[in-house]
Amino acid sequence: MSAQPAPAAWLEGIGVLGPGMPDWPAAARVLRGAARWENVPTVLPAPHGLPPAERRRMGSLVKLTLAVGLEASAQAGADPATLPAVFSSSGGDGQNCHEICQALASADRLISPTRFHNSVHNAAAGYWGIATHATPASNALCAHDASFGAGLLEALCQLAAERRRVLLIAYDASYPEPLRSARPIPDAFAVALVLAPERGAAALARLSLAVGGGRADTLADAALESLRTAIPAARSLPLLGQLARGGAGRVVLDYLDDTRLGVAVSPCP
């Protein structure tokens, strides 16, 4: 594959929530080998910011994305209301989808209005806006197993084209049966990155990205490697591991079929 220009960004904030990873500091300890990974179910925190009526309507994905988005924004010292956002998920709200399909297969086919408007792939993005009062553009992407890579690529293209900070949130959650057998995502996992076009006081590392080929990096720990392959948003783990270890280096992330994303990481001293 030919050499391509490399969009780049300054990473300012990280949020993580997944099984055995209640936040980024805990995930970083696991990923740099300072703590053992305990495969305990993802615990979704109570949501902040949403009015009670919205809180009743929202699904688990909203709690998941609010948690990581707010964690990353706080670390970056950014007001989430000012950030354009890129949301990327392989499947959206599986529980809601199941409930709708079940109702549509029933005799009366009646589905609830709330279930219907929560069925859109951009539901988490919509609730994020309501909760944080963010009015800049938000995007809602899907690329199946490549959804983290697609989101990272979109975020870096936004930075390159528009030269303003952007929040990336990649997230996935389980389907209930019977869909779970067809798409066995074991648990919820989300990662958020605040990315900036210029180096500021909050800069943690410089990331530069290239679309290419090769083999995706794997994780040495077999249990973590199975997490990486089982949940599309966890395809970010090699990048998070590089950031947790703190050194300069290059990681290769899974993307589409035979295409990979190479990310060069240079930490800020």
Partner 1 sequence: MTPLTLSSFTATSALGCGLAPTLAALRAGRGALAPCAFETVTLDSCVGEVAGVDEVALPEGLTAQFDCRNNRLAWLGLNQDGFAQAVERAASRHGRARLGIFLGTSTSGILDTELAYRRRDPVSGALPADFRYSGAHNTFSLAAFVRRALHLSGPAVVISSACSSSAKAFASARRAIAAGVIDAALVGGVDSLCLTTLYGFHSLQLVSRAPCRPFDVARDGISIGEAAAFVLLEPAAAGPAANGVQLLGTGESSDAYHMSSPPPDGRGARAAMQAALSDAGLSPQDIDYINFHGTGTASNDEAEARAVADVLGATVPGSSTKGATGHTLGAAGALEAVICALALQDGLMPGGVNTAQVDPTLPVHYLRANRSGPLLRVMSNSFGFGGSNCSLILGRAG
Interface with partner 1 by CB under 8 A: which residues? 1-2, 4-5, 7, 57, 81, 90-92, 97, 100-102, 104-105, 109-113, 115-123, 125-127, 129-130, 132-144, 146-147, 150, 153-154, 156-158, 160-162, 177-179, 181-183, 211, 256-259
Output 31 or 152, the one with its CB closest to partner 1.
152
Distance CA 42, CA 64 (A): 9
Q: How far is the CB of 260 from partner 1 (least distance, A)?
A: 12
Q: How far is the CB of 33 from partner 1 (least distance, A)?
A: 33
Output 4 or 39, the one with its CB closest to partner 1.
4
Output 69 or 126, the one with its CB closest to partner 1.
126
Q: How far is the CB of 118 from partner 1 (least distance, A)?
A: 7
> Contact, 265 vs 243, CB < 8 A?
yes
Q: How far is the CB of 31 from partner 1 (least distance, A)?
A: 27
Output 121 or 245, the one with its CB closest to partner 1.
121
Output 29 or 208, the one with its CB closest to partner 1.
208
Output 232 or 241, the one with its CB closest to partner 1.
232
Output 133 or 199, the one with its CB closest to partner 1.
133
Sequence-ordered list of residues with C-beta below 8 angstroms from that of 123, at least 6 positions apart, any chain = 59, 61, 62, 92, 93, 96, 117
In whole angstroms, how far apart are CA 52 and each of 9, 48, 116, 146?
A: 37, 10, 19, 35
**DSSP characters over 181-211:** HHS---S-EEEEEEEESS--TT--EEEEEEE
Token pair of 65, please?
């994305």
Helices (H), 37-122: 52-57, 60-76, 94-104, 113-118
Distance CA 131, CA 117 (A): 16
Distance CA 158, CA 234 (A): 22
Q: How far is the CB of 213 from partner 1 (least distance, A)?
A: 9
Output 123 or 227, the one with its CB closest to partner 1.
123
In whole angstroms, how far apart are CA 59 and each of 96, 97, 115, 127, 232?
A: 8, 11, 10, 10, 19
Q: How far is the CB of 91 from partner 1 (least distance, A)?
A: 7
Q: How far is the CB of 42 from partner 1 (least distance, A)?
A: 22
Token pair of 210, please?
């290239």
Across the strands, what pairs with 205?
Answer: 11, 267
Q: How far is the CB of 266 from partner 1 (least distance, A)?
A: 19
